[in-house]
Amino acid sequence: MTRARHDYDDIPGTFVFDAERSRQGYGINMFCMSLMKDENRKAFKANEAEYLKKFKLTPEQTDAVLKRDYNRMLELGGNIYFTAKLGATDGHSFRHLAATMTGSTQEDYADMMLKGGRSVEGNRSRSGRGAVGSVLGEQGKPKGAKKAVKAKGKSARSKAGKSKSAKPKSKAKRR
Amino acid sequence: MARIIAGVASSHVPAIGAAIDNKQTEEPYWKRVFSGFEKSKEWMAEAKPDVAIVVYNDHASAFSVEFVPTFALGCAAEFPPADEGWGPRPVPVVKGHPELAAHIAQSVILDEFDLTIVNKMEVDHGLTVPMNLLFGSPKEWPCPVIPLAVNVVLYPPPTGHRCFMLGRAIRKAVESYPEDLNVVIFGTGGMSHQISGPRAGLINKKFDTAFLDNLTKDPKKLTRIRHLEYMREAGAEGIEMVMWLIMRGALDDKVDEVYRFYTVPASNTAVGHIILENRKRAKGKAGKVKRAAARAVSLVRRSK
């Protein structure tokens, strides 16, 4: 069965842990939960493939775990708070895993964070429709506060602006 | 009568807990974070709450994927720190307030918020890190704590509006508790951060600042933020800011912002912190009449 489409699929570089992924990834996440016990961590480390057999993973899921492909684990239903336990078993912190998932080196990632993190500009949307209907985002600003709009994103933004101007009025009435 | 005197919001980054436990708080990277909470600890020492309600989320410690309660209220007498994979944090056992917790549960369920009651639960960094930031590292925590665990791990978490309204119901519950208690409520988590996938490391200071501004002045505006906007603007895990709205909903409409702190980064996360105080209520007859009138109005509304 193909995955149902959701509005949040438009966010780039993000795997939302929703009901479907939770169902699909139950085995991965319960495997990761088991790593909270020291004896299980040892058993897993002694023979990883054998240990994984207890959790009814698909071949793709098993492969992702063995290869420590954290993005693939998320895509196949793992959740970061669970897969982080696998990371901890390997001696890695959340930050280490995050850097790994972005594909950058540990140094570059740490440096990016110290400089204020990854900017949301250019990282909002795959489709470019961006912040339609947002309350605090770029489109959430009151009229006249958008002086700094760059020419580049103008068409998409003005389009979004139009649909937005009609929306909040009806919302305001409802609440 | 018990009353909520103030609300505190704070990030609960696990690395902050690790820095405390490994005695790294004086290192420049961490000092920048901890120095922002010095004034807050002074404030808390002066506020001396009798009880703290701590709204937080569990990170696959007490709840796995076997069952995922949306709102779970800790009604136990104590909550031991969880082993999150590297041994339990060396922090005191969290003592509960089972009487007030049971009273809140009964009140908010009848107000149509279907809480899960938890009588046995371990608590992880989501709860203990903000306590360290506000209470320091004492041998015993200075007051009993009622944990309120909110699901923000499995999508979708409750909406911001739902969270805000639950806060309102909690306020009503606390105010109908006969014992004279001063209560502080914590909203924890956030601010902007993403720790999963190729977009990890996302920080949005503009969003965070606007969120803090409106938390004080116009929280109802924040209740209109949809999940998509949280995830898009504040990162996939930034969605946990909905928990701050439970805290805000439990406060009066008009509050005084007495302190704010914001820094980037702690590990992968923007650290945000704010203290909001309820204004002193009008005492005596006038105040009582006003409150009784307000209650009557809300009863009429509910019965419609």
pLDDT digits (tens, 9 = 90+) for A32-54: 999 999 899 999 999 999 999 99
Among A53-62, A158-167, B55-64, B145-154, name the one with the lowest average pLDDT.
Answer: A158-167
Burial B261-284 (b: 16+ CB within 10 A, else e): bbebbbbbbbbbbbbbbbeeeeee
Average pLDDT over residues B69-88: 93
How is chain A split into domains, by residue range?
7-114, 123-175
Both tokens assigned to A50:
């054998």
State whether residue A173 sits within 8 Å of chain B by CB. Answer: no
Count of CB contacts below 8 A, A vs B?
182
- Confidence category of residue A173, pLDDT binned at 50, 70, 90: very low
Q: Is A118's CB within 8 Å of B200's CB?
A: yes
Helix, strand, coil in percent for chain B, rounding step 5: 40, 20, 35
Q: What is the pLDDT of residue B294?
A: 58
ipTM, 2 decimals?
0.90
Domain A7-114 classified CATH 1.10.700.10? yes
Q: What is the pLDDT of residue A149?
A: 42
Q: What is the pLDDT of residue B86?
A: 77
pLDDT digits (tens, 9 = 90+) for B201-234: 999 999 999 999 999 999 999 999 999 999 999 9
Closest Cβ–Cβ partner in A29, A30, A94 for B267: A94
Domain B3-303 classified CATH 3.40.830.10? yes
- Confidence category of residue A162, pLDDT binned at 50, 70, 90: very low
The bridge status of strand B51-56 relative to strand B182-188 is parallel
**Cα–Cα dist B162/B194, whole Å:** 23
In the predicted model, what is the mean pLDDT of chain A? 83
pLDDT digits (tens, 9 = 90+) for A136-148: 866 444 444 444 4
The SS3 assignment for B141 reads coil
Residue B108: name the closest of B49, B50, B175 by CA: B175
B178: closest CA of chain A, how far (Å): 33
**B203: nearest CA in chain A?**
A117
How is chain B split into domains, by residue range?
3-303
C-alpha angle A118-A120-A122 in degrees, rounded to nearest 5: 105
Q: What is the pLDDT of residue A131?
A: 63
**Cα–Cα dist A95/B200, whole Å:** 9
pLDDT digits (tens, 9 = 90+) for B27-38: 999 999 999 999
pLDDT digits (tens, 9 = 90+) for B85-100: 778 999 999 999 999 9
Q: Is A101's CB within 8 Å of B264's CB?
A: no
